[in-house]
Amino acid sequence: MKHRLRALLAVAALVFAACGGSTATSPIATSATAPTTGGTASGTPAAASGTPVATNGGTWVFGSATDPTTLDAILMQDGESIRIAQQIYETLVKLAPGSASTLVPGLAKSWDASADGLTYTFHLQTGVKFTDGTDFNADAAVYNVNRWKNLPEALQGDDYYDITVFAGYGDSSLIKSVTKVDDATFQMVLTTPKADFLTAMTLAPFSMQSPTALKAHNADKGSKDTSNDYWQKAPTGTGPFMFAGDFVSGDHYTIVKNPNYWDTANAAHLDKVIFKPIADSAQRLTALKSGTVDTIDFVDANQLKDVSSDSNLQLVTRSPLDIGRLNMNQNIKPFDDINVRKAISYAIDRKAIIDTFFPNGAAQAADSDLLPSMPAYAANATIAGYDQQKAKDALAASNCHAPCKIDFWYPDSVSRPYMVDPKGEFEAIRTMLEAVGFQITPQHLAWKGGYTGAEANGKYGLAFIGWIYDYADPADGPGIFYSTSLAKCGDVTPAKPHNCEAAEDNPAVVAGMAKAIAEPDAAKRTQDWKDVMALINADVADAPLVWAGSSLGLTKNIHGFVPSPTQTEYYNAVWKS
């Protein structure tokens, strides 16, 4: 027995010796040569603080939140899938790195729009190949656009962006036709003008995929199984990275450098990027600090200081493009009364919320559903700020006298960049509302337990909710919140579903938005949106609370990462020292 015990101890000693010995080669030990103070970057390239000369090679381990849910581009709707897709696929038009609205050439080197805003002609880059060796040309582009237009019914349940941007499929689609002009040119004709069309084309779901690969896996035939077979085995694009054939659900997803990338000046520095899903944000931070991963996304507001003060790490914060807000449904009493809505908006001390729940500059007080970075944002057309006396006066002028009893909904089991602690924030707002004469009945439901659906269906009078803009355009925000007028919301059936979360009681808002969305001239369009936002703010259609951005934590040896407010981030420029 003694001999066995000794042998056991010897094995244990060997294993621990191996553990100790390997520290010398762990990422943390290597980064000892990195600068010795923590650092932050806000909306600026991380490279600014790093070594100037990029080196090639290396593996970047990225701690993501979950696995990708699909990489059949047109079906993507979640950030983790899009994060990978932006590296292996490319769109016709791209956003400039770090920008939320500046368009730059992608697979199209230029484009022309007709004066009526209906016809777009794309001039394509030449010499581009998909990673399966086939050519990217007008035929491939036309094939992809036709797939968007005629998305098979079996796949439509998984789609969000296609239907949101093009409003339907087949004959109902905004895409009237798509035709090849020559090998390097094709034309898209829309049924009605859509001013944000080119901006929408920067979204990763509108990436170009290899028709050959799609056909080889029968993904064009329109079954969920074949679509899954395609993206899980051979998602094929033209990007600076390509799928490495190494996807272990729940463990990792690997992409490697595309050795034949067409844009040699922008070829990837890294050999490999591995996405490691870690669902819990605290565990992601532990993995970063222990050197298990090189980078994590969605650092919690209460973790920001922990990252920025760590001498081995750097904090990168995206400019805000998220809005936290209180939605007020005019279809439910007493929120049909503008004075009640005004009282709620006046009663909220947004600065106090930010000081308590968004320390370290994680958010700013919001006075509009738009962000100041958007051209249509106008400081003179914003909601009124915190004023308890005005709140009391407004409530006194309303039909709901103090104590005005209202239900107040908030979600459970969720944390979003604009809503880091829903219950805590709810309690804070509740105290503020009760201080001016409201009597609150708390109501809550799990975020994934049907909260968002019920809210959008117009079931809640007052609800804590928010929005993450996909691109910096009011159409992707107010254009959705207020898309349905009160008149239509009395008639919601499964066959005629409307977005009735606000049930805006002002037909001028709905009409004004339709005009703005169709206006092809940028300046006129901005003015249209300013007019609409003035109406919305005068109506106090909701109570904007905070503008928030998200943050990443990176080890100091990662350089060249350019944060984007829309999370449109390209990893070809990233390198590891």
Partner 1 sequence: MLKFIVRRLLLLIPILLGLSLLMVVFLHMLPGDPCGAILGEHSTPANIARCQHGLGLDKPLYQQYLDYMAGVIHGDFGVSATNKVSVTTSFLTRFPATIELTVAAMFLAIGIGIPLGVAAAKRQYSLFDNFATVASLIGISIPIFFLGLLLQYVFGVWLHWLPTAGRYDLGTFSYDHAGTNFLLWESLVINRNPAEFLDVVRHLILPAVALGTIPLAVVARITRSAVLEVLSEDYVRTARAKGLTSKRIDDRHVLRNAMLPISTVIGLQTGLLLGGAVLTEQIFSWGGVGNWLFQAAVDKDFAVIQSGALILASIFVVVNLIVDVGYAYLNPRIRYQ
DSSP-assigned states of every residue in 181-245 = EETTEEEEEESS--TTHHHHTTSGGGB---HHHHHHTTGGG--HHHHHHHHHH-----SSEEEEE
Contact 138, 184 (CB under 8 A): yes
User: For residues 195-214, which are near partner 1 according to CB under 8 A?
Assistant: none
Closer to partner 1 by Cβ: residue 19 or 379: 19
Integer Cα distance of 149 and 169 in angstroms: 5
The answer to the question of residue 466 lying near partner 1 (CB under 8 A) is yes
Integer Cα distance of 253 and 278 in angstroms: 12
16-51 burial code (b ≥16 CB/10 A, e <16): eeeeeeeeeeebeeebeebeeebbbbebebbbeebe
| Contact pick of 44, 69, 146, 364 for partner 1 (by CB under 8 A) | 69
Integer Cα distance of 136 and 209 in angstroms: 9
Alpha helices in 23-50 (DSSP H): 27-30
Q: Is 545 helix (H, G, I), strand (E, B) or coil?
A: strand
| Contact pick of 66, 212, 260, 527 for partner 1 (by CB under 8 A) | 66
For partner 1, which stretch binds (CB under 8 A), given 48-56, 204-212, 247-255, 533-541?
247-255
| Contact pick of 68, 237, 422, 549 for partner 1 (by CB under 8 A) | 68
| Contact pick of 145, 151, 344, 456 for partner 1 (by CB under 8 A) | 456
Closer to partner 1 by Cβ: residue 266 or 283: 283
Closer to partner 1 by Cβ: residue 122 or 161: 161
The least CB distance from residue 410 to partner 1, in Å, is 15
Mark 132-161 with x for binding to partner 1 (rule: CB under 8 A) and - for no binding: ----------------------xxxxxxx-
Closer to partner 1 by Cβ: residue 70 or 137: 70
The least CB distance from residue 280 to partner 1, in Å, is 7
* Region label for 488, one of left (φ > 0), alpha (ψ between -120 and 50) or beta (otherwise): alpha
The answer to the question of residue 23 lying near partner 1 (CB under 8 A) is yes
Closer to partner 1 by Cβ: residue 367 or 455: 455
Residue 547: Cβ within 10 Å count: 26
Helix H or strand E segment including 435: helix 422-435
CA atoms within 13 A on the CB side of 332: 18
Helix H or strand E segment including 83: helix 79-88
- Quick one: CA dihedral 364, 370, 375, 377, positive or negative? negative
| Contact pick of 113, 163, 216, 332 for partner 1 (by CB under 8 A) | 163
Compute how many residues bind partner 1; rule: CB under 8 A.
86
The answer to the question of residue 172 lying near partner 1 (CB under 8 A) is no
Which residue carries 């006046």 as its tokens? 346
User: For residues 248-307, which are near partner 1 according to CB under 8 A?
Assistant: 248-252, 254, 274, 276-280, 283, 286-287, 289-294
User: For residues 349-368, which are near partner 1 according to CB under 8 A?
Assistant: none
The least CB distance from residue 563 to partner 1, in Å, is 21
The least CB distance from residue 442 to partner 1, in Å, is 16
User: For residues 468-487, which are near partner 1 according to CB under 8 A?
Assistant: 468, 480
For partner 1, which stretch binds (CB under 8 A), given 19-27, 178-186, 435-443, 538-546?
19-27
Closer to partner 1 by Cβ: residue 114 or 577: 577
| Contact pick of 129, 176, 180, 224 for partner 1 (by CB under 8 A) | 224
Identify residue 357 by its one-letter amino acid code.
F
